[in-house]
Amino acid sequence: MKKLEEIEIELNSLHNRARELLRQWELEANQPYISWAQQLRADNIKECNLFISREELLSALPENSIGAEVGVAQGEFSLRIMEIVHPRMLHLIDSEQISNMRIRPYIDSQNIKIHRGDSGTVLSKFENNYFDWVYIDADHTLEGVKRDIVAAKDKLVDGGLLIFNDYTCWSPLEYLRYGVMQAVNEFIIDEGWRVVHFALHPLGYHDIAIRKPDKASVAGNLGVPKSGS
Ligand SMILES: C[S@@+](CC[C@H](N)C(=O)[O-])C[C@H]1O[C@@H](n2cnc3c(N)ncnc32)[C@H](O)[C@@H]1O
């Protein structure tokens, strides 16, 4: 087995080579390799609750709700959702087959429905204003996250939540760019959604939950009388 010191020497030289390559590319392309997410404003986060983990964040989701997990892998987190949130219905969406036998009882009792296919295509088949929350954890590229946001936002009830796993611009375990933070911040700023929950992760794969504006509160903010008043 190689010693850690030897591995670190090799890694350092690989990192130096990678940095050289990227610096050259950035000069030619005249753009940074890792795009910075836009900075949020203080009012975007003023209602935000902070949690120590994404499981803790789950405990803030409404019981008996209708939710979706977009990007499921083998369904381990789906099981945590079932145990903690007790949703009325959880839709699991993944382009690959989900073969976790522990999900079977929930399928039999009609609390879980599995949808195999591309997230955008599957989400487009639900009626608008259907989900109380949608947990997005599928394609982590900027384009992929933007596609999932567009596909999911109208499917949420007013006041519903879009929750994103891996809210970061860099995956330290994969040495890979993620577009989650950039896509989410852009959306928050453009569409005026509020950050309501944030869950920490020890390696920086944080979760963030943003709330769809309530039509009544938007009307209130605009000075438009709420219906019935
Ligand atoms: C990071 S894993 C999900 C992990 C899971 N949410 C958890 O917390 O354990 C990402 C999953 O997204 C799926 N995926 C990636 N792009 C997708 C797309 N465009 N449509 C549907 N599923 C996709 C992959 O097949 C993979 O299973």
CB 95 near ligand 1, within 6 Å: yes
Q: Return the minimum-mean-pLDDT range out of 99-113, 144-158, 159-173.
A: 99-113
Q: What is the pTM of this model?
A: 0.93
DSSP type of residue 212: P
Cα 23 to averaged position of ligand 1 atoms, centre (Å): 31
Confidence at residue 163, expressed as pLDDT on a 0 to 100 scale: 98
Confidence at residue 228, expressed as pLDDT on a 0 to 100 scale: 40
Closest residue by CA, ligand 1 atom 16: 139
Please identify which residue in the block is written with the tokens 């929350």.
Answer: 133
Residues in the chain: 229
Index of the ligand 1 atom closest to the CA of residue 144: 19
Residues 55-82: what's their mean pLDDT? 97
Checking if the pLDDT of 186 tops 50, the result is yes
User: Which among 97, 143, 98 has a CA at the least distance from the CA of 120?
Assistant: 143
Confidence at residue 215, expressed as pLDDT on a 0 to 100 scale: 79
Q: What percent of the chain has pLDDT over 90?
A: 90
Confidence at residue 220, expressed as pLDDT on a 0 to 100 scale: 52
Please identify which residue in the block is written with the tokens 């008996």.
Answer: 64
**pLDDT tens string 29-42:** 999 999 999 999 99
Cα 27 to averaged position of ligand 1 atoms, centre (Å): 34
> Cβ(41)–Cβ(189) under 8 Å?
yes
Kindly list the domain boundaries of the chain, sorted by start residue.
1-33, 39-221
> Cβ(165)–Cβ(207) under 8 Å?
yes
84 burial type by CB count under 10 A (0-12 exposed, 13-18 middle, 19+ buried): middle
**pLDDT tens string 113-154:** 999 999 999 999 999 999 999 999 999 999 999 999 999 999
From 100, 137, 146, give the residue whose CB has the most ligand 1 atoms within 8 Å, as the site to mutate: 137
Fold of 39-221: Rossmann fold (3.40.50)
Q: Where are the extended beta strands (E) located within 61-146?
A: 66-70, 89-94, 112-116, 131-136
CB 96 near ligand 1, within 6 Å: yes
Torsion angle of the four alpha carbons 47, 211, 77, 99, in this order, in degrees rounded to the nearest 10: 180
CB 78 near ligand 1, within 6 Å: no
CB 166 near ligand 1, within 6 Å: no
Confidence at residue 218, expressed as pLDDT on a 0 to 100 scale: 56
Q: How far is CA 111 from CA 55, 83, 107, 193, in A?
A: 19, 12, 6, 29
> Cβ(119)–Cβ(70) under 8 Å?
yes
Cα 163 to averaged position of ligand 1 atoms, centre (Å): 14
Confidence at residue 63, expressed as pLDDT on a 0 to 100 scale: 93
Torsion angle of the four alpha carbons 218, 192, 150, 204, in this order, in degrees rounded to the nearest 10: -140
Look over the chain and give the mean of its residue pLDDT values, rounded to a whole number.
94
Confidence at residue 229, expressed as pLDDT on a 0 to 100 scale: 34
Residues 207-227: what's their mean pLDDT? 71
From 81, 95, 166, give the residue whose CB has the most ligand 1 atoms within 8 Å, as the site to mutate: 95
Cα 72 to averaged position of ligand 1 atoms, centre (Å): 5
Confidence at residue 121, expressed as pLDDT on a 0 to 100 scale: 97
